[in-house]
Amino acid sequence: MMAQAGTREQPVVIAIETSCDETAFALATEEGVVAHVVHSQAAEHAQFGGVIPELAARRHLEALPSLFDQHIQPLLAAYPPTHVAVTAGPGLVGGLLTGLSFGQGLAIAHDCAFVGVNHLEGHVCSALLTAPDVASPFAYVANGLVPPFLLVLVSGGHCMFVDVSEIGTYRTIGQTRDDAIGEAFDKTARLIGLGYPGGPAIQRCAAQLSPAAYADAVARHPLPQPMRRERTPEMSFSGFKSEVMRRMQALARPLTPAEQQEWAASIEHHLVQALVTKLQEAVRVWQDEHPSMPEVPVVIAGGVAANLKLRSALDALAAGGKAGLRPLQISAPPIALCTDNAAMISWAAMTRLRNRLPLEMPPRVQPRWPLV
Ligand code: KG4
Ligand code: ZN
């Protein structure tokens, strides 16, 4: 006789992510993520310069059944599910509700436990996954990374340094007082005439320049590094955006494509440097609180972790060392798992199941659901 849902020996999780403008599914076993699919609505929202919540919810509703039928349903005979895990927050309420309703239907149809995942914990768990290096039935497997580590969570809505002592046990070390760094990318991209989402648009545009032309553009368009002189891990990005706005207003005409490349380079460089400067302050705090750790494991996650300049600046910081800082070990999720996806949601649920941590659906969706 088949065991009851949620109590079978081998958990198999179907995960759903609909908190913003990506509709995503994943299927995971304890060994790894078997399959995942992301349908991005970004191109449609781009014409409005940002996400329109009602439109996003409607598109999730349309995309959920066909994505499920095409990518997940065919796998369920081989991987009978025990849990349906849904992003329950933080995020846009309409999108969260569509994912939740669809997930609830699946849980009933497949006799599964129905559980809610915090989207931010999903981003944390994306850093625990890696693409397998040999032929494997899995898209992603665990990379062996375990807490404690210093998390740099950088997305469109969040920008914070967090001490992760266990998955589920978090303490904020520092955070932005206003805009998130992803928001700063999005808003300044718009100011220089690039599309939404701004981070990838700025990266693509700046990457047109040779390394020498990039360095030249940074020198020619200096921008403020917010709160640089304050020796705290607190951040602020709204003044940075206002300065770019003033500079564009002073110019009083649209930028040429060549000027857009220069400004994209300068914005990218200065935002990355601002974060790296503040990370060093966060490392000082973290290492004082973990005196027995010979090295500081730094884990970067969230959409902005996809930025290649940020990744190389962190590698350079780790390679160069800094007086007073212990050696750094940098980890980042695979690029495809930095922006929103359901593989990370499945892995957050799986990690909680394996660690026997509480995992249940909150009584309602949580548009605001802080990690800490
Ligand atoms: O984690 P995410 O997909 O959604 C939220 O939970 O917010 O992050 C989206 C953010 C956006 O602000 C986007 O511009 C930024 O991540 N982003 C990037 C890059 N890719 C996405 N920022 C800089 N460089 C990138 N390559
Ligand atoms: Zn996200």
Residues whose CB is less than 8 angstroms from the CB of residue 59 and which lie 6 or more positions away in sequence, other chains included: 21, 23, 41, 44
Containing H/E element for 87? Answer: strand 83-89
Cα–Cα distance between 321 and 274 in angstroms, integer? Answer: 18
| Cα distances (angstroms) measured from residue 98 to each of 104, 121, 349 | 10, 20, 19
Mean pLDDT of the region 72-84? 98
| pLDDT at res. 217 | 98
| pLDDT at res. 227 | 87
Distance 286 CA to ligand 2 centre (A): 24
Residue 197 Cβ contacting ligand 1 at under 6 Å: yes
Mean pLDDT of the region 281-307? 98
Residue 32 Cβ contacting ligand 1 at under 6 Å: no
Distance 112 CA to ligand 1 centre (A): 32
Say if residue 359's pLDDT is above 90.
yes
> For the segment 186-241, what is each residue's pLDDT rounded down to a tens digit?
999 999 999 999 999 999 999 999 999 999 999 999 999 888 888 999 999 999 99
Residue whose CA lies nearest to ligand 1 atom number 14: 199
> For the segment 255-265, what is each residue's pLDDT rounded down to a tens digit?
999 999 999 99
pLDDT tier for residue 15 given thresholds of 50, 70 and 90: very high
| Sheet of 140-142, strands arranged across | 113-118, 83-89, 13-17, 22-29, 32-40, 140-142, 129-130
Residue whose CA lies nearest to ligand 1 atom number 16: 303
> For the segment 175-197, what is each residue's pLDDT rounded down to a tens digit?
999 999 999 999 999 999 999 99
The number of beta carbons lying within 10 Å of the beta carbon of residue 7 is 9
Distance 303 CA to ligand 1 centre (A): 3
Ligand 1 nearest atom to the CA of residue 182, by list position: 12
| Sheet of 149-154, strands arranged across | 169-175, 159-166, 149-154, 296-301, 328-331
| pLDDT at res. 238 | 95
| pLDDT at res. 319 | 97
pLDDT tier for residue 137 given thresholds of 50, 70 and 90: very high
Mean pLDDT of the chain: 96
Q: Which of 160, 339, 341 to mutate to test the pocket of ligand 1 (most atoms within 8 A of CB)?
A: 339
Cα–Cα distance between 33 and 13 in angstroms, integer? Answer: 9
Using CB atoms within 10 Å of the CB of residue 17, give its burial: 0 to 12 exposed, 13 to 18 middle, 19+ buried.
Answer: buried
Mean pLDDT of the region 338-357? 98
Residue 81 Cβ contacting ligand 1 at under 6 Å: no
pLDDT tier for residue 9 given thresholds of 50, 70 and 90: confident
Q: Which of 20, 304, 344 to mutate to test the pocket of ligand 1 (most atoms within 8 A of CB)?
A: 304
Residue 90 Cβ contacting ligand 1 at under 6 Å: no
Per the CB < 8 A criterion, the answer to whether 297 and 149 are in contact is: yes
Residue whose CA lies nearest to ligand 1 atom number 3: 339
Residue 38 Cβ contacting ligand 1 at under 6 Å: no
Residue 117 Cβ contacting ligand 1 at under 6 Å: no
Distance 310 CA to ligand 1 centre (A): 12
| Cα distances (angstroms) measured from residue 247 to each of 127, 163, 191, 200, 243 | 37, 37, 10, 22, 6
Residue 21 Cβ contacting ligand 1 at under 6 Å: no
Residue whose CA lies nearest to ligand 1 atom number 13: 199
| pLDDT at res. 8 | 54
pLDDT tier for residue 321 given thresholds of 50, 70 and 90: confident
Nearest to 85 by CA among 16, 183, 150, 4: 16
Say if residue 88's pLDDT is above 70.
yes
Say if residue 328's pLDDT is above 70.
yes
Residues whose CB is less than 8 angstroms from the CB of residue 246 and which lie 6 or more positions away in sequence, other chains included: none
Q: Is the pTM of this model over 0.85?
A: yes
Per the CB < 8 A criterion, the answer to whether 128 and 351 are in contact is: yes
Residue 182 Cβ contacting ligand 1 at under 6 Å: yes
In 104-191, which ranges are E strands? 113-118, 129-130, 140-142, 149-154, 159-166, 169-175
Per the CB < 8 A criterion, the answer to whether 272 and 313 are in contact is: yes
Residue 203 Cβ contacting ligand 1 at under 6 Å: yes
Cα–Cα distance between 37 and 336 in angstroms, integer? Answer: 11
Cα–Cα distance between 30 and 286 in angstroms, integer? Answer: 31
| pLDDT at res. 5 | 42
Distance 153 CA to ligand 2 centre (A): 10
| pLDDT at res. 66 | 98
- What is residue 319's three-state secondary structure? helix
- Please name the amino acid found at residue 186: D
Q: Which of 20, 152, 155, 272 to mutate to test the pocket of ligand 1 (most atoms within 8 A of CB)?
A: 155
pLDDT tier for residue 4 given thresholds of 50, 70 and 90: very low
Residue 179 Cβ contacting ligand 1 at under 6 Å: no
Distance 256 CA to ligand 2 centre (A): 32
pLDDT tier for residue 363 given thresholds of 50, 70 and 90: confident
